[in-house]
C-alpha cells in the first residue's frame, strides 16, 4: 500500500530537513554578532562585543555582593576568579555559543552570551 514513490519522498524530506537544520544552526552561530553581557543583581553591568582576533580582556567586577574576574576573548568568556566559596562559575569553564550562561549565585552575577538585540522571538498571537 505504501509505494516506492512514498518512500523516496519521505527520505528526501528527512534529508533536506536535516541539512536545512544544520545550515540554519551554523548560520545563527556564525553570522550574528555575539555579545557578552555581565549582569549583577539583574542589572546590566557591562556589555562587550566578541570580535574575531580580539585580545583577551579581563574585567574586574567589584560590587557590594562580591568580587569576580571575568575574561573575554575571541572564543568566548569565562570566570577566572571569584570571591564566593563554591567557585562553581570558575569550574564551569568557558562558554562559547549563544544562549549559554554562567551564574555565580552568592555574588548575584550572571555572564551570558547573547545575539543581536533585535529579538526574533515569536509571541503567541494565535494558534
Partner 1 sequence: MKNTKKNIYLSLLVAIGLVLSIVESSLPSLVVFIPGMKLGFSNIVILTAIVLLGFKESILIAILKSLLLVVATGNVTSIMYGLPAGIFSAIMMNIFYNNFSKKIPVFSLIGVSIIGSISHNLAQITMAVIILGNVNIYTYLPLMSMVSLVTGYFVGLVTHYVTKNLEQNIEINGEIK
Query: Which residue lies nearer to partner 1 by CB, 12 or 105?
Result: 12
50, 51, 56, 60 alpha-carbon torsion, rounded to 10°: -30
Does residue 31 interact with partner 1 by CB under 8 A? no
Does residue 15 interact with partner 1 by CB under 8 A? no
Does residue 101 interact with partner 1 by CB under 8 A? no
C-alpha–C-alpha distance, residues 17 and 110, integer Å: 35
User: Among the candidate windows 12-20, 34-42, 50-58, 81-89, which touches partner 1 by CB under 8 A?
Assistant: 12-20
Options 30, 44, 64, 125; binder of partner 1; rule CB under 8 A = 125
User: b or e along 58-76 (b: 16 or more beta carbons within 10 Å of the residue's beta carbon)?
Assistant: ebebeeebbebbbebeeeb
Give the footprint of partner 1 on this chain (CB under 8 A).
Answer: 1-3, 5-6, 9-10, 13-14, 16-18, 20-21, 24, 28, 120, 122, 124-127
Amino acid at each position: 500500500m505504501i509505494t516506492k514513490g512514498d518512500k523516496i519522498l519521505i527520505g528526501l524530506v528527512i534529508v533536506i530537513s536535516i541539512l536545512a537544520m544544520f545550515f540554519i544552526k551554523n548560520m545563527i552561530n556564525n553570522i550574528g554578532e555575539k555579545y557578552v553581557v555581565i549582569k549583577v543583581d539583574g542589572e546590566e553591568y557591562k556589555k562587550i562585543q566578541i570580535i574575531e582576533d580580539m585580545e583577551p580582556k579581563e574585567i574586574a567586577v567589584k560590587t557590594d555582593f562580591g568580587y569576580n574576574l571575568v575574561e573575554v576573548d575571541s572564543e568566548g568568556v569565562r570566570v577566572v576568579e571569584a570571591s564566593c566559596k563554591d567557585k562553581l562559575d570558575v569550574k564551569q569553564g568557558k562558554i562559547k555559543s549563544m544562549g549559554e550562561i554562567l551564574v555565580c549565585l552568592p555574588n548575584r552575577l550572571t555572564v551570558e552570551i547573547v545575539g543581536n538585540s533585535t529579538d526574533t522571538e515569536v509571541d503567541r498571537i494565535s494558534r
